[in-house]
Structure 1
Amino acid sequence: MIEHITHYYNSVPFKSLSALSKSEALKKMEELCDDTPFFERFKEPHQYWESRLEAETWLREKFIEKGGTPQAGYPFYSVLGTSDWIENYSLSAGLEVNKIQIPLSIFHEGDISFTLPDSMVSFWIGRDKPKEYYHPAYHGKVFTRSEVKRMVTADLLHALESMHPQGTIPYVEAQIWNHKIAENYYLNGSARR
């Protein structure tokens, strides 16, 4: 089992569009928008913003139903283990990407949730159930730390790419709902050893 998550970031870790007002978020998306797989999602900033808020509301509610105790209104996003796709694409595109690896063991069960893949994609597939991608065991579901530890295998990780639409990044997303744990881990230097 993978025992850590990785938070990828450009210049400053643990930042989220969700922490901004709508006008600030729209402005930021306009600044970031380009044709890369990372930022092409911002080409329709109003639509992205509404979809993001809808997915985050769903994510938080489903996590609470499973006993999660989110300390924040929105999560910090990470991936379970690492993402070869993110790292390889960043290198090939000449993008600066930094990462912080955080052990799962520092989180309580109620601090962190997971989706397969990205939560917005899982929410959409779970809602619309497109025949070619919908897997009822994974899509439209939010998983706890103990569930993901039991469920994620090497075979499932290898199958992720074929389970999702072209253009979606194949990983298990981790959502950190207790920001202080992640920030303290980074500030105390544990992430930079």
Structure 2
Amino acid sequence: MFEYVTHYYNAIPFRSISALSRTEAMKVMRELCDDTPFFERFKEPIQYWDNRIEAETWLRNGFKEKGGVPKDNYPFYAVLGTGDWIENYALSEGLEVDFLRIPLSIFNEEDISFTLPDSMVSFWIGRDKPEEYYDPQYHGQVFMLSEVKSMMTADVMNNLASRIPQGSIPYVEAQIWNHKLVMNYYNSQKMNER
């Protein structure tokens, strides 16, 4: 059903706040913070940073427990298929958002994991189990490529918004744990454009 993941970025792909020191991250979050759904999460930078570190530790451990082999300390993020909400919002607000579609065929089982929805939201729902949203089949789970290929049916994807808290962006997040693999793919695409 899905042939690719989409990495959304602004100007430069494959940047992550997780690559920064805490001090550098605080500075970047203060600069980026605004009222858009993309950057309002940075309004409480200390809380966001602590939550992100906790969620990425959970992600990494969950990925390794299922046989994943993270080649890097933190993942690059993408969405399974297309993030229609992201693209429609950016278009409606006149925001510049670039994207790179990366074929799933370049990944091995050890390179990529998935969560429903965003990993920080999935981690929170799985941990706190709020009655109105929690579904143990999806939340608090780290999925492998083979699992996602079999479970992400059109019905699940078309009803993502009903499985997440209001205000969350409906998508299946992909976590890419092999930076070199996707950087090589990106560079080869740039070469082909010349």
Give the TM-score range, shorter chain: over 0.9
TM-score normalised over the length of structure 1:
0.98
Q: Measure the CA separation in 2 of the matches of 1:139 and 1:16.
A: 24
CA positional deviation for 1:158: 1.0
The match for 1:148 is 148
The match for 2:170 is 170
The match for 1:39 is 39
1:58-78 per-position Cα deviation (integer Å, ceiling 9, x unaligned): 000000000000000100000
TM-score normalised over the length of structure 2:
0.97
RMSD: 1.1
The match for 1:82 is 82
The match for 1:13 is 13
- How do 1:121-140 and structure 2 match up within 5 A? 121-140=121-140
Gaps of 5+ in 2: none
Corresponding residue SS for 1:113:
strand
Corresponding residue SS for 1:11:
coil
CA positional deviation for 1:38: 0.6
Is 1:189 the counterpart of 2:192 in the alignment?
Answer: no
CA positional deviation for 1:162: 1.1
Go from structure 1 to structure 2 and tell me whether the alpha carbon gap of 1:38 and 1:191 turns closer, same or farther (over 3 Å shift).
farther
Q: Measure the CA separation in 2 of the matches of 1:190 and 1:66.
A: 34
Contact 1:9/1:98 (8 A) holds in 2: yes
Moved over 2 A (4+): 190-193
1:106-142 per-position Cα deviation (integer Å, ceiling 9, x unaligned): 0110000000000000000000000000010000000
Corresponding residue SS for 2:124:
helix
The match for 2:22 is 22
Gaps of 5+ in 1: none
Q: Measure the CA separation in 2 of the matches of 1:190 and 1:26.
A: 32
Corresponding residue SS for 1:189:
helix
Contact 1:101/1:191 (8 A) holds in 2: no
Contact 1:100/1:191 (8 A) holds in 2: no
Is 1:105 the counterpart of 2:105 in the alignment?
Answer: yes
Letter aligned with residue 84 of structure 1: D
